[in-house]
Amino acid sequence: MWIWREFIRGAFKENPTFVLLLGLCPTLAVTVSVENGFWMGVAATGVLISSNVIISSLRKFIPAQIRIPCFVIIIAGFVTITEMLMKAYLPDQINRSLGIFIPLIVVNCIIFGRAEAYAYSHSVGRSFFDGIATGAGFMLALLLISAVREVTGSGTILGLEILPGYKPAYIMVMAPGAFLVIGLLLGLFNALRLRHARRAAVVFERPITSQTAQGQ
Amino acid sequence: MTAREEQFEPNRLSIATSPHIREAGDVKRIMWTVNATLVPIAALSLFLFGWYAGVVIAVSVISCLVFEAVWQRLSGKSITISDGSAVITGLLLAFVLPPNVPLYVVIVAAAVGILIAKQLFGGLGYNIWNPALVGRAFVQIAYPAAVTPSTWPIVSGDTWHRIFMDVRNAAPPNALAGSSYDAVTLATPLANDALAGFAPDAAGNVHLMYPSLNDLFLGAIPGCIGETSALLIILGGLYLICKGYINWKVPVVYLGTVFLFAFFFPSWKVPGAAAFGGLPEYVIGLDVPGRFFFPLYQVFSGGIVLGAVYMATDMVTTPITSRGQVIFALGCGVITASIRLLGHGFPEGCCYSILLMNTATPLIDRYTRPTKYGAVKK
């Protein structure tokens, strides 16, 4: 059961993009199409899971004073592997549009954050699932943002035209569109969370005020 | 009731903090007055660009009102569309769009302006940027081709002169004579590769063609719906200044800065055309010495007169103190002139200059805070 709870926490309650606001640079840059967003998510999740597992299993041997350089070396190793794999097996066009943002996963603060805040102090198994959960949260955010941007900015989804006659707003696949979409989605999620919290508070209050009073 | 109690009876003694002198002006009154001064400009645009300009204005105003009402209804606020601020946004938005703009662009711009730039920031009084300009900036990047003015007014400069001005240049060159003048499609006087348009003459030779300074001032030029007539905008601005709704320093400093900038750094963005000296003779409509021609041409072309009078003076998005407003106007002038004369990407810098200075408004307010009465400067 803890696995499910960890998953909900990592992917939704502490969603790296929409709650912790981590890793926004690649999120802003690569989410012009769902395909790009998906492969960015895959690369980051792969690195995250592997680095979480290795850092967690080495946590007894990594001295606290030099843990950051150690994390960098481990993460950089997996980023290099990921980059080579992507170069070898993915179409050229995807590699070109993801470009520098794959090597930059080395300094992605989601991966650093999980290494520092979780993997360095938890068991290998828990760190593995934490990697999956956080990666899934990042992936969901990327897919959501890139879907909104691709539909509004290019009128397509996964490269297929979905709304004939729709005039794509070019701005949405440019940098301002990324900021707009992330800002609006953040506002939406915050509004939903506030409303949820308010409803929960009302339900909690009811038995104390009316029902308990009537019962007595 | 004793005499003492009677004396302090609330109805007889009105207790209030300053200000004690009251005027009927409130948000509603100011907004509708501004709207009233915009009506002549709208009417002229109908005359210049035809019925479709009216459709654009109507669609813009109605969609601004609808978006505002729907948002306020959905978010549980009281609906305040009768205060006229959404109508101003709608009118100004239509005024900064070209007369041949497709209607979906107008609706998208209204949605972005009202929903994102105004209501998401808290509604009237809380918005950081001018909603109309945000809408315009959004569609300019989103649909660049649709937001480039490319139609000449129906009433050509020639006719205009005949109707109102009793033609100053009695003998226009061949390229401008007759029907060829009406037939040409041209970019706005500021558009990149042409501060002028190209007109073929009877022999088929193509001539560079500039609208005259008269046309520029009166409005018979290609451009956005409401920005062409400097005359009507200035008249509307004078009325608002007399009513005390806008600060006269803002338009004066803004336009003055652009004038001086253009006076000292003149540069046509037209390949081959030397600065003011190399202009074709027929361009010069008013009897202004050549040295002053280029700066005047800069001041009256594009949207800066509209921007300086109606947008750089917006009460919400500009600084509070007079000193702050002057700094604001100065910044707008410098940015506009820099984009126009030094930049290469955009022909017009008015919209972005005002949006950028809107962003700087809180900062300006902080540094121009007046000293408290009686406080001693250190």
**What is the predicted pLDDT for the residue at B3?**
59
Asked whether the beta carbons of residue B142 and residue A184 sit closer than 8 angstroms, the reply is no
Element (H, E) at B28: helix B27-49
Contacts of A169 in chain B (CB under 8 A): 108, 138-139, 142-143
A167 closest CB neighbour out of B104, B116, B138: B104
Whether B111 has its CB under 8 Å from any CB of chain A: the answer is: no
With contacts defined as CB-CB under 8 Å, which chain A residues touch B108? 169
Segment A145-173, tens digit of pLDDT: 999 999 988 888 887 877 777 888 888 98
Tens of pLDDT, residue by residue over A162-206, are 777 788 888 898 889 999 999 999 999 988 888 888 887 766 555
The whole model's pTM is what? 0.79
Judged against a pLDDT cut of 80, whether residue A121 lies above it is answered with yes
Å between B70 CA and nearest CA of chain A: 17
CA distance B120 to chain A (A): 9
What is the percentage of chain B residues whose pLDDT exceeds 70?
70
Confidence (pLDDT) at B25: 67
B144 near A CB under 8 A = yes
Q: How many CB pairs under 8 A join A and B?
A: 21
Of A133, A101, A179, A124, nearest to A16 by C-alpha is A133
Residue-range domain boundaries for chain A: 2-207
What φ, ψ does residue A37 adopt, rounded to 5°? Answer: -60, -40
pLDDT of residue B4: 60
CB B110 within 8 A of CB B93: yes
Overall residue count recorded for chain A in this entry: 216
Report the C-alpha gap between A143 and A39 in whole angstroms: 10
Task: Give dist(CA B85, CA A214) in Å, integer.
Answer: 50
Q: HSE on the CB side for B175, CA within 13 Å? A: 18
Q: Where are the domains of chain B?
A: 27-147, 157-217, 236-367
Task: With CB atoms and an 8 Å threshold, state whether A172 touches B116.
Answer: no
Q: Is there a contact between B290 and B275 (Cβ–Cβ < 8 Å)?
A: no
**CB nearest to A169's CB, from B102, B108, B120:** B108
> What three-state secondary structure class fits B332?
helix
A180 chain-B contacts, CB cut-off 8 A: 116
Q: What is the DSSP string of B63-109?
A: HHHHHHHHHHHHTTPPP-GGGSHHHHHHHHHHHTS-TT--HHHHHHH
Q: Give the per-residue pLDDT at B269.
A: 46
What mean pLDDT value characterizes chain A?
Answer: 87
Contact A167 B143 (CB under 8 A): yes
> How far is CA B201 from each of CA B156, B172, B177, B207, B213, rounded to the nearest angstrom?
16, 12, 8, 7, 22
Q: What mean pLDDT is predicted for residues B52-56?
A: 92
Does B273 have pLDDT greater than 50? no
DSSP-assigned states of every residue in chain A = -HHHHHHHIIIIIT-TTTTS--SHHHHHHHTTSHHHHHHHHHHHHHHHHHHHHHHHHTTTTS-GGGHHHHHHHHHHHHHHHHHHHHHHHS-HHHHHHHGGGTGGGGG-HHHHHHHHHTGGGS-HHHHHHHHHHHHHHHHHHHHHHHHHHHHHHHSEETTEE-STT----GGGGSHHHHHHHHHHHHHHHHHHHHHHHHHHHHHHHHIIIIIHHHH-
> What is the 8-class DSSP label of residue B207?
E
Cα nearest neighbour of B109 on chain A: A169
| Contacting residues of B for A187, CB less than 8 Å apart | 120
CB contact under 8 A, B116 and A171: no
> Is B311 within 8 Å of B354 (Cβ atoms)?
yes
Contacts of B51 (CB under 8 A, 6+ apart): none
pLDDT of B374 reads: 81
| pLDDT (mean) for B322-349 | 84
B13 pLDDT band (50/70/90 cuts)?
Answer: low
Q: C-alpha distances in angstroms, A114 versus A4, A39, A44, A53, A71?
A: 18, 20, 12, 11, 11
What is the average pLDDT across B264-287?
44
CA distance B276 to A168: 41
Euclidean distance between CA atoms B123 and B118, whole angstroms? 5
- Give residue B149's pLDDT: 61
Segment B249-263, tens digit of pLDDT: 999 999 999 999 887
Mean pLDDT across A94-123: 89
pLDDT averaged over chain B? 75
CA distance B196 to chain A (A): 28
Please compute the mean of the pLDDT values over residues B275-283 and round it to a whole number.
38
Looking at residue B204, its pLDDT comes to: 40
Nearest-Cα residue of chain B relative to residue A175: B141
Question: Å from B248 to nearest chain A CA?
Answer: 34
The predicted pLDDT at position B152 comes to: 54
Phi and psi dihedrals of B122, rounded to 5? 120, 5
> B134 vs chain A: nearest CA distance in angstroms?
12
Please compute the mean of the pLDDT values over residues A101-108 and round it to a whole number: 89
Angle at B237 between CA B250 and CA B217, to 5 degrees: 100
Q: How far is CA B329 from the centre of its chain?
A: 13
Which SS3 state, helix, strand or coil, does residue B208 take?
strand
Instruction: Give, for B199, the enclosing helix (H) or strand (E).
Output: strand B197-200
Minimal-distance CA residue of chain A relative to B144: A170
Give the SS3 label for residue B275. Answer: coil
When CB atoms are compared, the residue of B102, B120, B138 closest to A171 is B138
Question: Do the chains contact at A170 and B108, CB–CB below 8 Å?
Answer: no
Q: Is B143 at the interface with chain A, CB within 8 A?
A: yes
Helix axes A34-57, A109-117, angle to 10 degrees: 30
Task: Tell me the per-residue pLDDT of B127-170, one tens digit each, with 9 for 90 and over.
Answer: 999 999 999 999 988 988 888 765 555 544 443 333 332 222 32
Q: What's the confidence (pLDDT) of residue B47?
A: 85
* pLDDT at position B210: 56
Distance CA B139, CA A177 (A): 12
In this complex, do A170 and B141 lie within 8 Å of one another by their Cβ atoms? Answer: yes
Chain A environment of B139 (Cβ under 8 Å)? 169
Residue from the list B108, B120, B141 with its beta carbon closest to the beta carbon of A176: B141
Using a CB-CB cut-off of 8 Å, the residues of chain A touching B143 are 167, 169-170
Distance from CA of B370 to the nearest CA of A (A): 35
User: What residues of chain A have any CB closer than 8 angstroms to a CB in chain B?
Assistant: 167, 169-172, 174, 176, 180, 184, 187
CB B115 within 8 A of CB B155: no
Which of the four pLDDT bands, split at 50, 70 and 90, describes residue B283? very low
